[in-house]
Structure 1
Amino acid sequence: MKIAVLGTGAGARCHAAKLKELGHQVTVGTRDPEATLARTEPDMMGTPPFADFLAGHPDLALTTFADAAAAGELVINGIDGANAVRTLTAIPSGALAGKVLIDYAVPFIYNPDVPHPWPTPWGTMPRLSPVDTDSLGEQIQRALPDTKVVKAFVTQEQETVVNPAEFGGGDHTMFVAGDHEDAKTAVAELLRSYGWSDILDLGSLHAARGMEMHSHLHTAIGLALGGSHRFGIKIVRT
């Protein structure tokens, strides 16, 4: 399958490398390919320059967001949450019309000025916007009415999304939500190719609100475990 990965951060790189390993034709999208390749310093998360990653994966194609979206039959959104809607709506509508777009972005606002800050080892915990009565996934769907948006991958580090068997034999749960049943079926098929066996459909895209808010619980669990352990959530059914 032809798959577009929008973004060049650590998570996007996980998907690009795994998809290529699985035999897909992968195109990575960025705002300015020349500028992306010219960077020599790590990004704000400490991720090495993309040129270093591309040197180890020379068979990946890097192009603009618009060209990548046009090339993909399925699109994965790895654009940071603060810029996702603006960036996606700048892509010509025909490039995304009718396609499945998997959104795993979290609408974080970093270094927030809030009345009751949550201190973490890396500074104040980002706040979410939108939150509670809306979600980034829903905003993207409203902005792209002809695209089939599925919220997925967001409740887990992307390193684990592409390799659930790295701990616990892969026996943990991945969630999906969206308003298009055929799109969720396509995402479930991709997840099974990654190695997921327990995939729980949460229903409509409204559930993206809870999935995005889970990021704070995920952080709290990670800190409680010492910050160096991979972990997953398992839904135990009666």
Structure 2
Amino acid sequence: MKIAILGTGAGARQHATRLSTLGHEVIVGTRVPEATLARTEPDMMGTEPFAAYLSTRPGLALTTFAEAAEAGEMVINGIDGANAVTALSALPASALAGKTLIDYSVPYVYQQPGDAEHPWPTPWGEMPRLDPVDTDSLAERIQRALPSTNVVKTFVTQEQETVVNPSEFADGDHTMFLAGDHDDAKSAARRLLNAYGWNDLVDLGPLAAARALEMYAHFHTAVGLALGGRFGVKIVRGGSLR
């Protein structure tokens, strides 16, 4: 399958590498390929320049967001949350029409030091806030901006290293979640997750549940900081709710 990945950050690279090993044709999209390839310094998270990554993976193609989306049969959105709606809305309507778009972006808003009324300090600075939150989600905003696209929210409750390789914890016996309004698109997302090695999948229902998945980001970070590293989450089923 031809799979487009929009974004060139560390998470996008995890998916590009894993999908390539699974035999998919991967097309990576960025806003301006020439600018992406010209960068020589690590990004804010210490990730090596994309040109260095690409040089060791000759089978990958780097092109614009629009060209990647047009070429992909399925699209994975790794564009940062602050810019995702704007960047996706700027694509030609034909690029994403009728396609499954898997969105794992988190709507982080990074603030200048001292801007937060009640700052949450972390080893890398103040925790960014979430916007939208509670009454809306980034995934829903993307779906409203792209009414002919089938948006699925998933991948977002784990670091992407774990998403593409769940077996690093408990032989893969932990849980991944998804939400969306289109059953066929959720089935496509489930097949991809199964290919990555996920067996315990929880369908949270309509895309409105993406609000919970995005808000989980803060809890996940808090647990990771407390444990000092990455981890998996396992849902233990009980009786039905009444």
TM over 0.5: yes
Q: CA deviation digits over 1:187-215, x for unaligned, max 9?
A: 00000000000010000000000100000
CA shift for structure 1 position 136: 0.2
Tell me if the contact between 1:42 and 1:48 (Cα under 8 Å) persists in the aligned partners: yes
Aligned to 1:202: 204
Structure 1: which 5+ residue stretches go unaligned? none
**RMSD in angstroms over aligned alpha carbons?**
0.7
Aligned to 1:65: 65
Aligned to 1:27: 27
Find out whether 1:218 has 2:204 as its counterpart.
Answer: no
Provide the rounded CA distance (Å) in 2 between the counterparts of 1:5 and 1:50: 14
What amino acid maps onto 2:40 in structure 1? T
The one of 117, 139, 145 equivalent to 1:143 is: 145
CA shift for structure 1 position 232: 1.0
What amino acid maps onto 1:196 in structure 2? W
What amino acid maps onto 2:97 in structure 1? A
Provide the rounded CA distance (Å) in 2 between the counterparts of 1:45 and 1:109: 16
Aligned to 2:134: 132
Structure 2: which 5+ residue stretches go unaligned? none
Aligned to 2:7: 7
Provide the rounded CA distance (Å) in 2 between the counterparts of 1:56 and 1:213: 36
Superposition pairs for residues 70-219 of structure 1, below 5 Å? 70-111=70-111, 113-219=115-221
Aligned to 2:46: 46
What amino acid maps onto 1:161 in structure 2? V
Q: CA deviation digits over 1:7-64, x for unaligned, max 9?
A: 0000000000100100001100000111111110011111100011101111100000
SS in 2 for 1:133: coil
Provide the rounded CA distance (Å) in 1 between the counterparts of 2:134 and 2:57: 39
Deviates more, 1:196-205 or 1:115-124: 115-124
CA shift for structure 1 position 111: 2.2
What amino acid maps onto 1:216 in structure 2? H
Provide the rounded CA distance (Å) in 2 between the counterparts of 1:114 and 1:203: 34
% identical aligned pairs? 72
What amino acid maps onto 1:143 in structure 2? A
CA shift for structure 1 position 78: 0.3
What amino acid maps onto 1:139 in structure 2? R
Using the size of structure 1 for normalisation, the TM-score is 0.98
Provide the rounded CA distance (Å) in 2 between the counterparts of 1:206 and 1:84: 18
SS in 1 for 2:135: coil
SS in 2 for 1:59: coil
Using the size of structure 2 for normalisation, the TM-score is 0.96
Q: Which runs of 4+ in 1 moved over 4 A?
A: none
